[in-house]
Amino acid sequence: MLREQDKSVNIILIGCGPHARRVYIPALEHIKNVKIALIIDLKDQEIDIRGSIKVGVETSFMFIDPFVGSLPKKLAYQLSEFIQNNQIDGVVIATEPLVHYAYAKWALGNGLNILMDKPITTRPDVVSNDENAKGILEDYEDLLEDYHRIQDIKETVFIINSHRRFHKGFQFVQEQIREVAALTNCPATFIQAYHSDGQWRLPSEIVTQNYHPYCSGYGKASHSGYHIFDTIYQFYKASINPEKIADQLDIFSSFVRPKGFIKQITQEDYKLVFGQKYDTVHRWTDEELSPVFASYGEIDVSSVLTLKKEMETVANFSINLVHNGFAGRTWITPGKDLYKGNGRIKHENYIIQQGPFQSIQIHAYQASDQHDTHGIEEGLGGKNHFDIYVFRNPLISNGQQQPQVYKVSDLIKDRPQEDANMITMEWVKFRVVEEFVDYLSGRKLKSEMISLLDDHLFPVQIMSGTYRSNISKSVVSYAIEPDSILDKYPLKNYIF
């Protein structure tokens, strides 16, 4: 049921790092009748945050000590008291992912609506500790149980900011997949996914930088990797029907970690590239770094997903995720903003096959890390390059010339002119925030939400299984229950 239209909305923002400052704060400030009632971050970030963001005078700040595990009792009490005294409607959780679970658990316990960054959870040392890698799934299931329990008392939403679900290009591809599945009864038989975000970190920076870190025993799969796991799921989900759904998922993965990275490019290689300037930032030798890196998380990830039905393989999906990819960095001292700029250049592509009937390719390649000016830039190398190629068998092509080629601008009809300089993916992130607020203010129903917690089990399984496979150097398998609902079916681990 829709609630009172356009009611005033009070939100707590938990975490005020580079992503929150670039997306959440401007998005929330832009929406009518929304107040950021409280911003929470760590004490050592107070000076930077107060000096770099502009919010209304009605916004309070709370700066806390770091913690591990569950929310400290004193902090939980202070936050619960704040929500009671300030009529808080929802929270945005944009913290270091190691504390996603703790804040989400608290928010669920207080009956709040939640918008949370990906990944849903991760744990320390998931790259090397199988119990912690399994814990990624266990934490998800625990949050899901709490979420379902609350729905018996009151309706709330728990939205995961998996923003490719809101992207018109990815939505269009899913529509093409569904259309051919309806015509031919053929599911996705092959998917290849590749994502590189060109984060060139020098060896000493791997130790000292805390943004998207490796030092806590996790890396790429817990950073942007979750988006790709979820996108794979969205493509497969669009293609399946009750007769064709697989009943088993096998995962095999391999990681490149920092110890391997310093063998790819050695300290002598850096001196060849940068000259003597490299000595000014070269704090530790490769020999000194090697034992330090032994527990560090993954830089690059390769995973093969095998879908089986009645013990026969029916689809192979491959995922390749790299931080150590093409970058624009030419300097030895990193910039202050590690989220945008700093030489970070993104490349992303997908190939989706539906047997002999359809092949869809997505190609998105930037050539520069400068993204805040110069208009839309949809051409190859532009900040918004995103081409979709659709090839269809003549039996179902209606005589159309093949391939059909689309750009995102062909699909977006409602983008304001004032957003022309914005990266499409960031414009999409604003839409995620708007959907959350639309629910809180009564403008949208819960049934209209497209990234609720209970539709994220499959990508969580991929993430957990990817870590577990790399640890064991073997296949990790999950059973898919045949009687489950197609878009929210449960997976159960049955091989340990």
Chain centroid, CA 172 distance in Å: 20
Tokens matching residue 124: 């320390």
pLDDT in tens, 299-327: 999 999 999 999 999 999 999 999 999 99
Chain centroid, CA 384 distance in Å: 18
pLDDT over 60 (residue 289): yes
Band (pLDDT 50/70/90 cuts) for residue 423 is confident
pLDDT in tens, 19-29: 999 999 999 99
User: 96 versus 336: which is more confidently predicted?
Assistant: 96
Q: Say what the pLDDT of residue 425 is.
A: 87
Q: Which fold has domain 9-161?
A: Rossmann fold (3.40.50)
Least confident of 62-66, 312-316, 482-486: 482-486
Give the pLDDT mean for 268-272.
97
Per CATH, the architecture of 163-419+453-493 is what?
2-Layer Sandwich (3.30)
Q: Say what the pLDDT of residue 376 is.
A: 82
pLDDT over 80 (residue 85): yes
Give the pLDDT mean for 67-81.
96
DSSP result, 173-195: HHHHHHHHHHHH-----EEEEEE
Give the pLDDT mean for 282-299.
97
Q: Say what the pLDDT of residue 373 is.
A: 65
pLDDT in tens, 385-400: 999 999 999 999 999 9
Q: Say what the pLDDT of residue 5 is.
A: 56
Cα(325)–Cα(323) distance, rounded to whole angstroms? 6
Q: Say what the pLDDT of residue 433 is.
A: 97
- 132-140 long-range contacts, Cβ below 8 Å, gap at least 24? 132/217, 133/464, 133/467, 133/468, 133/471, 134/464, 134/468, 134/493, 136/460, 136/463, 136/464, 136/467, 137/460, 137/461, 137/464, 137/493, 139/101, 140/456, 140/457, 140/460
pLDDT in tens, 180-232: 999 999 999 999 999 999 889 999 999 998 888 999 999 999 999 999 999 99
pLDDT in tens, 341-387: 688 999 999 999 999 999 999 999 999 988 766 678 999 999 999 99
Kindly report the pTM of this predicted structure. Answer: 0.94
pLDDT over 60 (residue 418): no
User: 392 versus 457: which is more confidently predicted?
Assistant: 392
Tokens matching residue 92: 């945005």
Query: Which stretches of 99-190 are DSSP H helices?
Result: 100-109, 130-151, 168-184
pLDDT over 70 (residue 489): no
Mean pLDDT of the chain: 92
Considering the chain, tell me which residue range(s) the CATH 3.40.50.720 domain(s) occupy. Answer: 9-161
pLDDT over 60 (residue 481): yes
Q: Say what the pLDDT of residue 486 is.
A: 57
